[in-house]
Structure 1
Amino acid sequence: MKIATFGSCLSRFTAMNYARMFRGEIVGAVYHNRIDRFVRTYVRNEVPELPISEFVKANYDQSTSKLKVMVDNQMMNGTLGLHGVAKGRPGFMTAIEEQLDLVLLDNYVDIIARQCHLQGYPSGGIFANPRELPQLQGRLVLDAEYLDMKEAVAYWGELINWIRARQRGTKIFFLNFPMKHHHNALMAERTTEFASLFASKRVNVVPLMEVPPSLVRTPSHFSPAYYSMLAGYIRYVTRHKRNEQPTAEERADDVLVA
């Protein structure tokens, strides 16, 4: 089973647990690309990426490893679509043009991220912390506002259409990122607003499932049990919809009591 993800750790860790529990491999993963930027840059081909050369000149690779990974994950000449993917796998941008079995999507970045824009470049921006790039101080400017949730929903509809055109028979699930536990009340409000606005007949929308306090590790990362639960839910839905019959091994485990 070939699996691809788009979003954050929520979709990827759920995919990892799904692959472990039900056999499969992750062949592509887009990480930390805000939906408006991705659609405008790679779906519409409307605005270019920020040139990675500007970050190289700013010695971004000598800053925190986290920053380098974050920037590279948003660059075609970097690791776009390849985050955490095993060597030799095609990556999201190639795999999405081939037949996949399962695609998992989530909206974490759209909830929490304000983007940066580099003065002098009419680009779709980038998700990064300007304070970690002092060489670009004054040029790399953080947006004042977050992405409007109604706009985010519209962009998601566009991305889903783009994916579905390439993956007609593929099982696609959208996971609403849970934020009720977040220390920032605005984040909790935004995730609830998005979930109330978003609906799709082209993908399976997983209901917003809040995380019990015992399973919260950080504001954006959870215990493996939570990801396993989501993987099990996805498995249940896919099997139920196609009326899949139990395997011989599962039937052998059945015990009949008179």
Structure 2
Amino acid sequence: MRTISIGSCFSKRVAVKVAGAKLVSSVYHNRSDVLLHTLQTNGLAQRSLADICSYLSVPAEPDDPFSPYSILSNQSREGLGLHDLPNGIALLQALRTSSVDLILLDNFVDLVGRLTETEVGNYFCKHERFVPPSNSRLGPRLLPDQAARNFEWIVADLIRRQPGALIVMLQFPINNYPSDDRRQWGWDFRDALNLPDAVLNIPVRRVRADGVPYHFASSEYVRYARQIDDALGGGIRLGTE
């Protein structure tokens, strides 16, 4: 079952636990406004990884999937959808040339992400080894209703491109965050989001953390995967194995 994950390690870790899923593309840490623009322009506005890293003075570290280089690679023209997936397919190519069965999205980057705004584009690269250029600025977080509108457009576009796929929206769990404003952001996003009935929209739920607020016990990913298994078995989507 050909599967795409879009968001963070949350959707990716759930995806690999869905019965029969084969991850063919994995988009990592693209905030919804950036991803929306990429889909709207079919990637024509994206820069190459070499250009991005040259401007931002980021050294090549391809063997570390969580280095600034690898994070930025998944925001580049050639790397979008290939995060820690050496045999994968770039997102736009997968959407254009493949019959996809399952697409998982999560909103983690919208919940926490501020973009480094530069002359060559806006990028998410929260990392202790990343030093932003002196002429850049750290932009604001998205408001919940902005993020909700972006995801509504993204989901509509994915339905248009892959009408046979089951699309799953995983609203990122917020109960482990100590900050009241992050928890409130999650609730406000839930209330603002309006998706078609054919989309499996899993709202925020309480989960057990695994050391940090944004990683969870393995059993929690399994719980999400089983809900998706049930939806697939129930015939919600018409895709093929």
TM-score range, shorter chain: 0.7 to 0.9
> Does 2:142 correspond to 1:147?
yes
Q: How many residues align?
A: 231
TM-score scaled by length of structure 2: 0.86
Looking at structure 2, the residues matched to 242 and 42 of structure 1 have their Cα atoms a distance apart, in angstroms, of: 25
Corresponding position of 1:186: 181
Looking at structure 2, the residues matched to 47 and 178 of structure 1 have their Cα atoms a distance apart, in angstroms, of: 33
Structure 2 stretches lacking a partner, 5+ long: none
Looking at structure 1, the residues matched to 45 and 90 of structure 2 have their Cα atoms a distance apart, in angstroms, of: 20
Q: Is the 8 A contact 1:28 1:93 kept in 2?
A: no
Q: Is the 8 A contact 2:113 2:141 kept in 1?
A: yes
Secondary structure of residue in 2 paired with 1:187: helix
Residue type matched to 1:223 in 2? A
| Worse-matched range after superposition: 26-35 or 57-66 | 57-66
* Larger gyration radius, structure 1 or structure 2: 1
Residue type matched to 1:194 in 2? F
**How large is the Cα RMSD of the aligned pairs?**
2.4
Corresponding position of 1:102: 102
After TM superposition, what 4+ stretches of structure 1 lie above 6 angstroms from structure 2?
none
For the structure 1 residues 236 and 37, does the alpha-carbon distance in structure 2 shift closer, same or farther, using more than 3 Å as the test? same
Looking at structure 2, the residues matched to 223 and 74 of structure 1 have their Cα atoms a distance apart, in angstroms, of: 28
For the structure 1 residues 54 and 103, does the alpha-carbon distance in structure 2 shift closer, same or farther, using more than 3 Å as the test? closer
Corresponding position of 1:60: 58
Corresponding position of 1:82: 82
For the structure 1 residues 129 and 208, does the alpha-carbon distance in structure 2 shift closer, same or farther, using more than 3 Å as the test? closer
Structure 1 stretches lacking a partner, 5+ long: 244-258
Q: CA deviation at 1:67?
A: 1.1
Q: CA deviation at 1:46?
A: 9.4
Looking at structure 1, the residues matched to 43 and 24 of structure 2 have their Cα atoms a distance apart, in angstroms, of: 27
Corresponding position of 1:216: 210
For the structure 1 residues 225 and 84, does the alpha-carbon distance in structure 2 shift closer, same or farther, using more than 3 Å as the test? same
For the structure 1 residues 242 and 178, does the alpha-carbon distance in structure 2 shift closer, same or farther, using more than 3 Å as the test? closer
1:50-71 deviations in whole A, cap 9, x for unaligned? 5642522544126886211111
Looking at structure 1, the residues matched to 159 and 206 of structure 2 have their Cα atoms a distance apart, in angstroms, of: 28
> Does 2:225 correspond to 1:226?
no
Corresponding position of 1:32: 29
1:6-51 deviations in whole A, cap 9, x for unaligned? 0011110000111xxx223100011100000111233246983456
For the structure 1 residues 27 and 54, does the alpha-carbon distance in structure 2 shift closer, same or farther, using more than 3 Å as the test? closer
TM-score scaled by length of structure 1: 0.81
